[in-house]
């Protein structure tokens, strides 16, 4: 840097090399450093005395904003939203300052045997570290730098694991993590186990035959409540995919199906009663004036059996996960009537989950495994990686599908069976963040269609009960914490207004939404 030009590091006019000389001359002992900073006038005695009255929470929030906000109003708005969440601030604070943050700022420091002077100096050291970090680093590390850091696998309770999956593109992060090395990176000798149906996944989970599972997003709620089997505590750790489904109609009905009312009298396949497929299909049919329990027959069909049943005439249509919708087109068995993203763009579908018992017994392994899935989802979200992933997961051991079928789904460049070639890059997405608003919409629909038992009805369920289901089952805060550790930028909010084709869902008033649906469209 030439004299008279601003420093590239801090913007002040001096030689850039002055930074290294200054740091070399800094005292190594923190107390000596603070004494020097006081002598230099950076900290005034009256400021240190005033710090004694500062509310600890507000101090943490202010320092966090300084470290991470970088004077960006939108960024600070998101950070403040996080600060309002009980417990959320500590996770974000640790991400900003590192695992030793509590040494300087935790309440235990003030309430321990430390003297008032030591406490004040600890606060000053923390503030100095924030300033120095901002000057030296120029901002947060890039996501790829964080992700590339060596992974400590020494504390894993269990490394030989079995993860169950259904052979569909929704399971992409779970499946690809074996051939592409994400499990290995986090210390696991993992085997992904192909399952024939969602009922088999549920039964194997309860029997303890699997360590973790690919599940439909509503399944952890239904299993925890004991719907369809004895209650079995399951937690949804992260979302596997958003969008990625379609309503496909048998070729024999081409030209006769244009809207929901045209499905009257049909037998329609869905993969499982407690699925987004079933809930979205019912949502669509009801919008056309049909009663899904009277005017059509909705039948559970294992996804691998769906094409054969479409061809044989056992079902007239299906709302299935891919690649079976695209495979129906490939085989000339059916045509794609509608992508589910047109019913709810960004809707959840499948999830990564584990049982309460396994999480309790293997807390470190659970965090590491979830982290591997979240990192894999981010990799899958990049369109540039989709062809590579399609090749990796089409193998017989995984999806056992033609590569061109899987690639058509993942890239969004596909034939719809009606003579159209379409390009829809977000036909499927991989966003692992488990929004609480997802859980609340799912719960409201399980109640609407009387799938949560006679004790939970539209007349008796409360907002508080729906909220509790979401917070108990969807591990939103943990997903955010792990994403931050990976250098990603997850949302700081837990809820958002969900925009669907025929209405908007306000997560603050799920029962009002539920009753409004029933009033407008019927049960």
379-412 tens-digit pLDDT:
999 999 999 999 999 999 999 999 999 999 999 9
Q: What is the pLDDT of residues 173-202, one digit of tens each?
A: 999 999 999 999 999 999 999 999 999 999
Contact between 83 and 61 (Cβ < 8 Å):
yes
Supply 42's token pair.
């950076």
Task: Report the C-alpha gap between 343 and 445 in whole angstroms.
Answer: 15
Contact between 237 and 340 (Cβ < 8 Å):
no
What is the structure's pLDDT at 522? 77
Look at residue 147 and tell me whether its pLDDT is greater than 50: no
Q: Is the dihedral of CA 449, 451, 453, 457 positive or negative?
A: negative
Look at residue 39 and tell me whether its pLDDT is greater than 50: yes
Supply 376's token pair.
């894999």
- List the beta bridge partners of residue 352: 214, 238
Task: Report the C-alpha gap between 171 and 430 in whole angstroms.
Answer: 10
Look at residue 109 and tell me whether its pLDDT is greater than 80: no
Residue 100 CB burial class (10 angstroms; 0-12, 13-18, ≥19): exposed
Task: Report the C-alpha gap between 201 and 223 in whole angstroms.
Answer: 11
Task: Report the C-alpha gap between 155 and 150 in whole angstroms.
Answer: 14
> Which of 398, 225, 404, 443 is CA-nearest to residue 326?
404
- List the beta bridge partners of residue 247: 319, 338
- Percent of the chain clearing pLDDT 70 (strictly above): 72
Residue 440 CB burial class (10 angstroms; 0-12, 13-18, ≥19): buried
In a 13 Å sphere around the CA of 519, the CA atoms on its Cβ side amount to 7
Q: What is the pLDDT of residues 70-93, one digit of tens each?
A: 555 555 655 555 444 434 455 545
Q: Give the three-class secondary structure for 19.
A: helix
Burial profile 276-309: b = 16 or more Cβ within 10 angstroms, e = fewer? bbbbbbbbbbbbeebebeebbebebbbbbbbbeb
- List the beta bridge partners of residue 320: 246
Q: Give the three-class secondary structure for 372.
A: helix
CA-to-CA separations, 370 to 186, 365, 461, 491, in angstroms, rounded: 10, 8, 32, 17
- Percent of the chain clearing pLDDT 90 (strictly above): 68
CA-to-CA separations, 287 to 13, 282, 284, 300, 502, in angstroms, rounded: 66, 9, 5, 22, 7
Report, as an integer, the average pLDDT of 137-147.
Answer: 39
pTM over the 0.95 mark: no
CA-to-CA separations, 250 to 112, 161, 282, 418, 437, in angstroms, rounded: 71, 40, 19, 12, 34
Contact between 219 and 295 (Cβ < 8 Å):
no
Distance, first Cα to last Cα, the chain: 71
Look at residue 126 and tell me whether its pLDDT is greater than 50: no
Residue 460 CB burial class (10 angstroms; 0-12, 13-18, ≥19): exposed
Residue 162 CB burial class (10 angstroms; 0-12, 13-18, ≥19): middle
Supply 385's token pair.
């990686």
């Amino acid at each position: 840097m030439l004299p008279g030009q601003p420093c590239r590091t801090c913007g002040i006019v001096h030689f850039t090399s002055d930074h290294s000389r200054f740091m070399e001359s800094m005292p190594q002992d923190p107390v000596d450093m603070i004494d020097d900073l006081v002598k230099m006038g950076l900290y005034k005695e009256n400021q240190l005395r005033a710090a004694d009255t500062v509310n600890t929470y507000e101090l943490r929030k202010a320092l966090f904003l300084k470290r991470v906000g970088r004077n960006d109003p939108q960024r600070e708005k998101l950070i403040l939203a996080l600060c309002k969440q009980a417990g959320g601030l500590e996770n974000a604070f640790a991400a900003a300052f590192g695992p030793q943050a509590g040494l300087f700022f935790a309440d235990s420091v003030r309430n321990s045997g430390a003297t008032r002077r030591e406490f004040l100096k600890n606060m000053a050291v923390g503030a100095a570290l924030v300033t120095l970090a901002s000057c030296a680093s120029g901002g947060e590390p890039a996501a790829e730098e964080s992700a590339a850091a060596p992974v400590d696998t020494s504390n894993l309770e269990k490394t030989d694991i079995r993860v169950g999956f259904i052979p569909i593109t929704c399971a992409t992060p779970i499946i690809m993590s074996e051939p592409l090395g994400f499990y290995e990176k986090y210390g696991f000798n993992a085997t992904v186990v192909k399952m024939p149906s969602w009922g088999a996944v549920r039964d194997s989970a309860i029997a303890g035959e699997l360590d973790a599972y690919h599940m439909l997003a509503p399944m952890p709620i239904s299993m925890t409540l004991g719907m369809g089997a004895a209650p079995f505590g399951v937690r949804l750790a992260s979302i596997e995919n958003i969008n990625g489904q379609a309503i496909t109609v048998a070729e024999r009905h081409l030209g006769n199906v244009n809207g929901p009312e045209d499905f009257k009298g049909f037998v329609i396949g869905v993969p499982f009663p407690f699925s987004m497929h079933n809930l979205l299909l019912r949502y669509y049919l009801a919008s056309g004036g049909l009663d899904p329990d009277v005017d059509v027959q909705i039948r559970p069909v294992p996804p691998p059996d769906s094409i054969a049943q479409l061809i044989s005439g056992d079902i007239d249509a299906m709302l299935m996960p891919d690649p079976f919708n695209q495979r129906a087109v490939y085989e000339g068995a059916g045509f794609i009537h509608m992508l589910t993203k047109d019913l709810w763009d960004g809707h959840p579908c499948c999830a990564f989950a584990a049982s309460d018992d396994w999480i309790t017994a293997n807390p470190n392994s659970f965090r590491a495994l979830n982290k591997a899935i979240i990192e894999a989802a981010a990799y899958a979200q990049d369109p540039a990686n989709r062809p590579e992933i399609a090749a990796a997961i089409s193998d017989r051991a995984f999806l056992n599908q033609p590569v061109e079928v899987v690639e058509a789904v993942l890239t969004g460049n596909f034939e719809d069976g009606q003579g159209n070639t379409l390009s829809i890059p977000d036909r499927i997405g991989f966003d692992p963040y488990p929004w609480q608003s997802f859980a609340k919409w799912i719960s409201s629909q399980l109640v609407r269609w009387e799938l949560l038992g006679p004790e939970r009805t539209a007349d008796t369920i409360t907002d508080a009960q729906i909220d509790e289901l979401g917070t108990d089952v969807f591990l939103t805060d943990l997903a955010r914490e792990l994403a931050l550790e990976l250098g990603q930028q997850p949302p700081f909010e837990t809820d958002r207004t969900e925009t669907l084709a025929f209405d908007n869902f306000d997560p603050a008033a799920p029962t009002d939404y539920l009753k409004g649906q029933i009033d407008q469209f019927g049960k």
